[in-house]
Structures are given as structure tokens and as C-alpha cells.
Amino acid sequence: MVSVSREVRRSALMGICHIAPIILPVVPFGLVLGLAISDSDVPNLAGWLSSPLMFGGAAQLTAVTLLGQGAGALTVLAAVFTINARHVMYSAAIAPRYRSQPRWFRWSGPYFMVDQIFALSVTRDDTPDNWRAYYLGASLSAWVLWQVVTAAGILLGPAVPTGLEIGFIVPALFLSLTVPTLVRRPAVVAAVVGAVVAAATWQVPNRGGIIVGGVAGVLAGYLADRPDG
């Protein structure tokens, strides 16, 4: 039987405590995602399975919405890739922490790399074992909560009155989650440019305007974040 030191257990508990206040506001997001799955043409089970398979709220909601609207596979993949492009930067920033970790964690740990987990773990100055315990404590807590709330949203779907439009809730919720993060010039530039370009290209087939707007926003944010931007 593998023994776990008190420090490792304390690090895992600390991860659970630290993730709680920043993951609870995501609960309404998960419920709306579940409602969107229930209201779309995507089968409920397939829609819910996207939670453990993808574990990325924004990308998951985009994929479910586009599939439900009949978008092609390439469009969905391109949209998900664009949304998750920021993970390349996350990987570069957190790579030094992974070099001292066992192989099983180097392969499985990135699966849990959502925004909140990255923000908490990248600044931790712990021993490799304690850092891994902290990361897993926070990650597994967030993962379990996400599976539960998306399932709850799907189960609540039939209780929503027929004919009630919930489509507007998704962009409204995205807006409420995004606005508090617009505290730096690159973020504001990316959001404004992405929204304007997406609106201007809304007639692109298969909701391709979302991809065009996303790419334009990422590029604009990158240029604005350059020292000479």
C-alpha cells in the first residue's frame, strides 16, 4: 500500500479549497450547457459525453452548438482549435513544472488544464510531489463538479417550457463570464475585434464567421500585447 505523507495530503486539500471559490461561478455555465444540449439535435448522451471527453467549457459549448445547428465536422474542429489555442501558451508557461513529474502525470495532467487550474498551479512554488497533489486536488474537484452540473442541465431540459428560446442565454452568459476579464488592453482589443469581425462575416456558411472572428480576435490580441503594439 502506497503511503501518502501529511504534506501531500495537505497540498491536495489546499487545491480543493483554492479551486472552490473560482469554480463555483462556472456552475450556471454548466447548467446552461446542459440545457443547450437538451435543446439541440445532439443526442443527450453524446452531448454529455463531451464533458469527460473534452473537459473545456467554451470549446465544448461551441462544438455542441455548431453540431446542433448542422455545421460540418471541419468547421467544428476549426472552431474548437481556435478557442483552445491559448493552451499552447499555457503549456509553455507550465512546462518546467512537468519536467520533474512522473511519466503517468506528464501524460494525464494536461487533460485537466482549464483556465482556472492553470491560474492556480502555475504560480505554486512547491516540491514536485506537493505540486502534483495540489494540481490533482483542484483538477479532480473541478472535473467532478463539471460532470454533475452538465448532467443536471440535461435532466432539467425537459422541464423548460416548449418554445422557450434559450439560445440567447448562451451568448449572454459568455458575455457575463468574459467582461470581468477585460482588464488589460490586449483582452479588450481581442474581444472587440473578434465580435466586430464575427458580426461582419455572419453569412459565411456553417457558422464560419465564428472562426473568422475568433482568429481575428486572437491575432489582434497578440499584436496589441507586443511591446511595440
In a shared domain, residues 103 and 145:
yes
Instruction: State the average pLDDT over residues 192-213.
Output: 64
Structure confidence at residue 187 (pLDDT): 58
In a shared domain, residues 190 and 125:
no
Choice between 168 and 42, residue whose per-residue pLDDT is larger: 42
Question: Does residue 28 belong to any structural domain of this protein?
Answer: yes
pLDDT band, very low/low/confident/very high, at 17 (cuts 50, 70, 90): very high
Instruction: State the average pLDDT over residues 180-204.
Output: 62
Secondary structure class of 40 (helix, strand, coil): coil
Question: Does residue 177 belong to any structural domain of this protein?
Answer: no
Q: What is the pLDDT of residues 113-160, one digit of tens each?
A: 888 888 888 888 888 999 999 999 999 999 999 999 889 988 886 665
Please count the structural domains in the chain: 2
pTM of model > 0.85: no
In a shared domain, residues 123 and 58:
yes
Flag whether pLDDT at 51 surpasses 50. Answer: yes
Residues contacting 154, CB < 8 A, separation 6+: 34, 35, 37, 38, 44, 47, 48
In a shared domain, residues 32 and 127:
yes
Question: Does residue 190 belong to any structural domain of this protein?
Answer: yes
Closest among 27, 33, 31 to 62, alpha carbons compared: 33
Instruction: State the average pLDDT over residues 73-95.
Output: 79
Structure confidence at residue 190 (pLDDT): 65
> Given 116, 142, 166, which residue is the final one in a domain?
166
Question: Does residue 171 belong to any structural domain of this protein?
Answer: no
In a shared domain, residues 143 and 95:
yes
Question: Does residue 154 belong to any structural domain of this protein?
Answer: yes
Whether 111 and 52 have beta carbons less than 8 Å apart is answered as no
Q: What is the pLDDT of residues 158-177, one digit of tens each?
A: 665 555 455 445 454 455 44
Quickly count: other Cβ atoms within 10 Å of residue 13's Cβ.
Answer: 13
Residue ranges making up the domain that contains 219: 182-229
In a shared domain, residues 123 and 81:
yes
Structure confidence at residue 102 (pLDDT): 94
In a shared domain, residues 122 and 192:
no
In a shared domain, residues 41 and 139:
yes
How wide is the angle at C-alpha 182 spanned by C-alphas 179 and 188, nearest 5°?
Answer: 115
In a shared domain, residues 142 and 193:
no
How wide is the angle at C-alpha 197 spanned by C-alphas 28 and 65, nearest 5°?
Answer: 35
Choice between 61 and 188, residue whose per-residue pLDDT is larger: 61
Calpha distance 113→161 (Å, rounded) = 36
Structure confidence at residue 54 (pLDDT): 81
Structure confidence at residue 163 (pLDDT): 52
